[in-house]
Chains A and B, each alone.
Chain A
Amino acid sequence: MVLKSLSARHSPLSETQRQLGILNEAPFNDGDLETFQQKLKSSGKFPLKPLQLEIFQVNVGYMCNQTCAHCHVDAGPDRKEIMTKNNLDKCFEIVKKYGFKTVDITGGAPEMNPNFFEFVEQLSTFGIEIIVRSNLTIIEANKKYHTLPEFFKKHKVRVISSLPFYQKDRTDKQRGDGVFDKSIKALQKLNDQGYGKQGTGLILNLVYNPVGPFLPDDQAALESQYKQALKTNFDIDFNSLFTITNLPISRFLEYLLASGNYEDYMYKLVDAYNPAAVEGVMCKNSISVDWEGNIYDCDFNQMLKLKVATPKSNHLNTFDLDDLMNRDIVINQHCFGCTAGAGSSCQGTTV
């Protein structure tokens, strides 16, 4: 089990250039596999353009109470990058001014940002959909987070939470010892507030990440297994399950390389390239903002430090919606993770 972030271990992979270098070596640079750009071109989808900006995804910091083995953020307790109140205020103003439909708050554990509560309160004053990507265990981590379920309910937050499997051993293998039991407790507390229960309007979605170097199985089949197992064993209800493919970056890339699975995984992603899945990828309807206010096409590009390809509006300070709408989306080989099989986005499959 990984106990520290790549960053804290000073791993060469904490340098995003090193990650991008690996993603552009064999089997891509020797012609064995087509690059993502070549695939898009041959399916008539290059350059990739945004459709409509609906979702404002804001990463409020990389600090987390967990150090998951697959984390694409390289988050953990040792990460100190946290969005300031000043930048949160700028996010609020932009969301309000441009009429985004949804604010998707992520991290790290977003709740660990000292201004998180105030930010949610602020957003809830004008009827926008608020998503919080909560890791569940944060609710149990410290007394100050024990009332999160009530807070979420009060502000009608849609909660999206990772639970990589409905069995303890696989969940703990990916997310750390004891995570499954704490997650179950947290889910029961969310259910107690009405989350995941019919007729309450309080939405609780779960996220499945494969615990290994393979694509997710059919989303509907997994959802039905999750619902049955969680109901039978723990009396837990939730609304729907999102299957999300692990992208070959950050700590998942480290795992792929260390376990000798990297090349095979890239073949799997490329072989499963599905042009139909391209249409629903999240970079087409959302933007991602980092703790410093930089703007990216998605959270994965953020972690590779690939800013939007329009220097004029690649920061909150110079946000220009028209300019962003005209941009070409920045792509690289990691993008195969979002277009494989039934596709993958922050809202699950894309087809």
Chain B
Amino acid sequence: MDNTYYNSADLRKFGKVTEWSEKVGKKFFDWYGEAFAEGELSAKEKALIALAVAHVVQCPYCIDAYTEESIKKGYSEGQMMEALHVAAAIRGGASMVHGVQMMNKAKKLNM
């Protein structure tokens, strides 16, 4: 096996994380399942949100899982990429909006 921190085959073992703390682990998976269930948002919409968030938190397991889930639920590659741009724009925007702070500070420092 390759000596890497991330191994795609580990995704299959996700459910086993309950083993050392069964009670709270079970609560996590119950909550996880409930969060993705059909609600006021459809399960399909939730999959695309998860895909976008997966890129923001840069979780390779989540990216694998929700890329597949998004395809399975009928999203096109174009829709998936648009969702990623929204996520990335928020991420970029979060940096850029701090530019206001920079500008405020710079103005204060200028004589």
Q: Which residues of A contact B (CB under 8 A)?
A: 165-167, 169, 210-212, 214-218, 221-222, 225, 263-264, 267, 271
Contact = CB atoms under 8 A, between A and B. Distances in A.
| 9 smallest beta-carbon distances between A and B, as pairs | A217-B72, A214-B72, A267-B12, A214-B68, A217-B73, A225-B74, A212-B71, A167-B76, A210-B72
Interface in B49-108: 68, 71-74, 76
A169 B43 contact: no
Nearest to A217: B72
Interface of B: 8-9, 12, 42-44, 68, 71-74, 76
Given A169-B76, A267-B12, A221 B43 contact: yes
A214 B12 contact: no
Main secondary structure of the interface of A (DSSP, over half): loop
B29 to A, nearest CB: 14
B72 A215 contact: yes
Contacts of A166: 74
Given A211-B71, A215-B72, A264-B8, 19 more contacts: A165-B74, A166-B74, A167-B76, A212-B68, A214-B68, A214-B71, A214-B72, A216-B72, A217-B72, A217-B73, A217-B74, A221-B43, A221-B73, A222-B74, A225-B74, A263-B9, A264-B9, A264-B12, A271-B12
Nearest to A216: B72
Contacts of B43: 218, 221
A231 to B, nearest CB: 15
Contacts of A216: 72
8 contacts: A212-B68, A217-B73, A218-B43, A221-B43, A221-B73, A225-B74, A264-B8, A267-B12
Contacts of B42: 221
B71 to A, nearest CB: 6
Contacts of B73: 217, 221
A222 B73 CA distance: 8
A219 B44 CA distance: 13
A212 B67 CA distance: 12
B71 A221 contact: no
B68 A221 contact: no
Tell me which of A217, A263, A267 has the highest count of chain B C-beta atoms within 10 A of its own C-beta.
Answer: A217
Tell me which of B9, B44, B72, B76 has the highest count of chain A C-beta atoms within 10 A of its own C-beta.
Answer: B72
Contacts of B44: 221
B39 to A, nearest CB: 14
A215 B44 CA distance: 15
B104 to A, nearest CB: 49
A267 B68 CA distance: 15
